[in-house]
């Protein structure tokens, strides 16, 4: 997005440097990474950075309001409500498309948000590896709020581990060894010592949970949760000692209920010039906008792009029997902005990553991630056969 920096980066780029970057990432992960890493980071000018941060703060103003929990109680499916919910989410991820306004300026447009952790470990490594193999301007950074790399790790450790012994804290997933994000689990263990444990390996005794830590039965006191209910539907015959909805003596870091509260369900509550118009489908009462081509339909309780209809027709809307579980969101036009070495341009999505320490009044911006795309949808699964696309990180002007 910064023309002079982009031109210099592309001039210095070589395929050999990129292959070395990927090789270093795979070496650190101990196994080949299963998603594509982009050939370039994203260089974000201060003008766009300020718009991103200010819009995020307006969103947080809504989330910290006294009535937020009451407004979002309907977001949690009754059969997926987990006991012992804490006062606020531990994580906040806010996704923006990078667009252009009528004046030709780069502007963000909110896509969605999650009260759920993202790739905090992998982004730490990815930014470091870009800096190792490519020249990144000194006045551009991937961290915020005065954090350096040591402070970044300490902030994560404070949030996830707290005052517990490291062996009493686990990262919870379902079959973590086969997840595409397992690289993040490995890096997280290297950074703060928390091991990934499969749901099927947890032992429940009364209200207490245990796992085998190198063969030693060890109590679980804190769970860094990376498991979502939606993933469990892929394993209908799964048998476990512990179900997420059990009332047990653990502290959730990333309580599962916040995954639902801060989600697509929350989108209609936000108003800002960089937030597209969004309403629950049932609010239309059968009278829909004439310009449906300017909207996208999203189910509330489906994730990773599943069930999203980009080219909406009236019959798509009238056929839905539970319109309260859908949102109709004004379509965002991604602007191809990042020039590649072949002269083409790719689209960019930026995720701002916050952590929220216990008893703090607001979450704090820690880092970011980016996704580059040539396809109609942004996710890495939709860009498998292209180059200069995939997972990336933003370096933002100080």
Average pLDDT score over the chain: 93
Distance (Å, whole) CA 216 – CA 174: 21
DSSP string, 254-292: S-HHHHHHSSGGGGGG---TTS--EEEGGGGTT---S-G
Q: Residue 214: CB partners within 8 Å, gap ≥ 6? A: none
Residue 380 pLDDT greater than 60, yes or no: no
User: How many domains are there within the chain?
Assistant: 1
Residue 188 pLDDT greater than 70, yes or no: yes
Across the range 221-239, mean pLDDT stands at: 91
Residue 70 included in any domain: yes
Distance (Å, whole) CA 17 – CA 31: 20
Residue 381 pLDDT greater than 80, yes or no: no
Q: What pLDDT sits at residue 363?
A: 97
Residue 312 pLDDT greater than 90, yes or no: yes
Tell me the pLDDT band of 234, cut-offs 50, 70 and 90. Answer: confident
* Domain carrying residue 50: 3-276+332-397
Q: What pLDDT sits at residue 5?
A: 94
Q: Residue 165: CB partners within 8 Å, gap ≥ 6? A: none
> Which of 102-111, 220-229, 370-379 is predicted least confidently?
370-379
Tell me the pLDDT band of 31, cut-offs 50, 70 and 90. Answer: confident
Residue 344 pLDDT greater than 80, yes or no: yes
Residue 385 included in any domain: yes
94 burial (CB, 10 Å; 0-12 / 13-18 / 19+) is buried
Residue 312 included in any domain: no
Q: What pLDDT sits at residue 383?
A: 60
Residue 97 pLDDT greater than 80, yes or no: yes
Q: What pLDDT sits at residue 29?
A: 78
Residue 236 included in any domain: yes
Residue 34 pLDDT greater than 90, yes or no: no
Per-residue model confidence as pLDDT tens digits over 382-393:
566 789 999 999
Per-residue model confidence as pLDDT tens digits over 265-292:
999 999 999 999 999 999 998 899 999 9
Residue 228 included in any domain: yes
Q: What pLDDT sits at residue 374?
A: 87
Tell me the pLDDT band of 305, cut-offs 50, 70 and 90. Answer: low
Residue 23 included in any domain: yes
Residue 324 included in any domain: no
Residue 360 included in any domain: yes
């Amino acid at each position: 997005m910064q023309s002079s920096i982009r031109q210099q980066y592309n001039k210095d780029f070589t395929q050999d440097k990129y292959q070395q970057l990927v090789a270093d990432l795979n070496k650190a992960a101990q196994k080949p990474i299963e998603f594509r890493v982009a050939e370039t980071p994203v260089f974000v000018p201060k003008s766009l950075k300020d718009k991103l941060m200010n819009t995020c703060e307006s969103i947080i103003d809504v989330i910290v309001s006294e009535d937020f929990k009451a407004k979002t109680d309907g977001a949690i499916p009754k059969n997926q409500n987990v006991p012992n919910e804490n006062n606020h989410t531990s994580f906040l991820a806010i996704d923006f498309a990078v667009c252009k306004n009528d004046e030709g300026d780069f502007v963000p447009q909110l896509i969605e948000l999650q009260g759920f952790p993202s790739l905090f470990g992998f982004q730490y490594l990815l930014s470091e590896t870009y800096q190792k193999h490519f020249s990144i301007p000194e006045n551009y950074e991937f961290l915020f709020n005065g954090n350096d790399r040591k402070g970044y790790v300490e902030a994560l450790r404070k949030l996830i581990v707290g005052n517990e012994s490291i062996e009493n804290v686990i990262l919870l997933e379902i079959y973590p060894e086969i997840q595409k994000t397992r690289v993040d689990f490995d890096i997280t263990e290297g950074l703060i010592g928390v091991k990934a444990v499969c749901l099927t390996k947890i032992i429940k005794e009364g209200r207490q949970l245990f796992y085998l830590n190198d063969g030693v039965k060890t109590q679980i006191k804190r769970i860094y949760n990376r498991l979502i209910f939606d993933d469990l539907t892929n394993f209908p015959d799964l048998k476990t000692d512990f179900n997420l909805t059990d009332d047990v003596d653990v502290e959730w870091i990333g309580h599962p209920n916040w995954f639902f509260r801060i989600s697509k369900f929350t989108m209609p509550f936000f108003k800002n010039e960089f937030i597209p118009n969004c309403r629950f489908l049932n609010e239309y009462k059968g009278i829909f906008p004439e310009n449906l081509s300017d909207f996208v339909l999203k189910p509330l309780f489906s994730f990773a792009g599943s069930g999203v209809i980009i080219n909406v027709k009236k019959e798509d809307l009238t056929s839905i029997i539970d319109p309260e579980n859908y949102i109709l969101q004004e379509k965002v036009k991604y602007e191809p902005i990042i020039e590649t070495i072949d002269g083409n341009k790719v689209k960019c999505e930026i995720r701002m990553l916050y952590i929220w320490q216990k008893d703090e009044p607001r979450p704090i911006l820690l880092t970011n991630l980016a996704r580059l795309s040539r396809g109609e949808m942004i996710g890495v699964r939709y860009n498998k056969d292209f180059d200069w696309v995939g997972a990336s990180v933003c370096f933002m002007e100080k």
